[in-house]
Amino acid sequence: MKLLHVPFCYYPDPVGGTEVYVASLACEQRARGYEVAVAAPGGRNETYLHQGLPVHRFAVGSRISLRELYGEGDAVALANFEKILDRFEPDVLHLHAFTSAVSAPLAESARARKIPVVFTYHTPAVTCCRGTMLEWGARVCDGEMRVNRCARCMLHGTGLPKPASWLLGSLPENLGEAAGTAGLKGGIWTALRSTELVGVRHAAVKHFLSGQCDHIFAVCEWVRAVLIANGVPSGKITLSRQGLPYPRSSAGTPATESRPAPAAPAPVRLAFLGRLDPVKGIKVLIDALATLPDVELELDVFAVVQGEQARRRQETLLAQARADRRIRFLAPVDATEVVERLRAYDALLVPSQWLESGPLVVYEAFAAGIPVVGSALGGIAELVKNGETGLLIEPGSVSAWAEGIRRLVEEPGLLGKLRTTPKPVRTVTDAADEVSEVYDVLLHPAASLAGVSEGKRL
């Protein structure tokens, strides 16, 4: 079987949890005898090897229209991707993103070649124009795509006041179409086109999910609920969570082990691993620590910097944290080393301010035998048992995070209890088992998907 995975980006570029998952899944599938390759958008067309896997980068267009950006897709990226399809001739195309470069036309092109298409929904930006699945940035949304509601929320997410967002997001779609036809763009004109552009996005996503994907993997429960709310049949969805980026045989039983207590009292050691993106919440942690100047602890930030905006954000955060001797910014950790590095810490902090669909780092903390202090949102809340395997904190609240950190450091017996509670270990082996079952059914329709659509739950 020949498999082609298509994520948003890929090594050697800075990557996040999705790309770590794709790389580990591809390596596991190769070990099972499949012929596997990765294709990802890039600055130019090129092919190279990473971890022994062929990686095909396809160049994206230098200038695309707003309609292409929101859903119609990048024609240059499509043309370059089609060359990879023709050259590699996969039996299954597995998409891991939905962007202007990894768009519905890519799936259409594969299906025109009789290649089944599967999709893994990794981030809320697939169906949420604001990108967080938090309505007005404050409460969990049901995820149903409705043009006016989503346009208002999206505009508010750009910084517009709520009254202005409500007004512009209530305009009819044909008004935006008229402005686009007239060539008006930028600033207020783009805002006036918000309902048109959100309508384009919704149409493209629904066409992609319901019409161009043969099967969809939801990596958590809330994703499955959102897919069903938007018309995707439940039988077309498999719940398949992420897992540690190495096979089950290498995972051992670290979740039942605890780090021995130090011979002498030492500061509580905390870690943050993730992208320097506002939705990951690192600023909330820095602000929370600023309100706890007398609490003895150490926070190591392993930051993934993707793009120029993230570099500028890092400089701002570094300047803010410079006066706090307890905070260190460190280089990202290789995916194969994360669990071992986390064993040196007392807890992992995951202050996300959007609905995570994993995140993978929660499983890595569990494998290291340490608790997770995370936002009470999405996939984090699905994986962390409050008061047992970690603490769940009100997202975005500096005071709530300060109190949670203080409890972790000062409440007698709490950290010891959280650290010694057995935690589930799930690896890429489990995910590969579930994915392979679906591939087999798509390639051999006489087989049955009975039992697969529920996935293996941990």
Q: What is the pLDDT of residues 41-58, one digit of tens each?
A: 999 999 999 999 999 999
CA dihedral 164, 169, 171, 177 (to 10 degrees): 120
Q: Which pLDDT value is given to residue 217?
A: 98
If DSSP codes are grouped into helix, strand and coil, which group holds residue 280? Answer: helix
- Which of 63-72, 127-136, 170-179 comes out lowest in average pLDDT? 170-179
Given pLDDT bands bounded at 50, 70 and 90, which one contains residue 190? Answer: confident
Q: Which pLDDT value is given to residue 192?
A: 87
Where is 85: in which H helix or E strand? helix 75-88
Given pLDDT bands bounded at 50, 70 and 90, which one contains residue 262? Answer: very low
Q: Which pLDDT value is given to residue 351?
A: 95
How many residues can be counted in the chain?
A: 458
Higher-pLDDT residue of 258 and 172 is: 172
Q: Indicate whether 228 pLDDT > 50.
A: yes
Share of the chain above pLDDT 90, in %: 71
- Which of 218-232, 325-339, 388-402 comes out lowest in average pLDDT? 325-339
Which of 149-178 are b and which e, b meaning 16 or more Cβ less than 10 Å from the residue's Cβ?
Answer: bbbbbbbbbeebeeeebbebbebebeebbe
User: What is the pTM (predicted TM-score) of this model?
Assistant: 0.87
Residue 378's nearest CA partner among 220, 232, 237 is 220
Q: What is the pLDDT of residues 106-134, one digit of tens each?
A: 999 999 999 999 999 999 999 999 999 99
Q: Which pLDDT value is given to residue 250?
A: 59
Cα 231 to Cα 46: distance, rounded to the nearest angstrom: 38
List the structure tokens of 73.
């897709």
CATH no. of 1-248+427-458: 3.40.50.2000
Where is 48: in which H helix or E strand? strand 46-50
Q: Indicate whether 255 pLDDT > 90.
A: no
Q: Which pLDDT value is given to residue 432?
A: 96
Q: Do domains 1-248+427-458 and 253-420 have the same CATH topology?
A: yes
CATH no. of 253-420: 3.40.50.2000
Q: Tell me the domain boundaries of the chain.
A: 1-248+427-458, 253-420
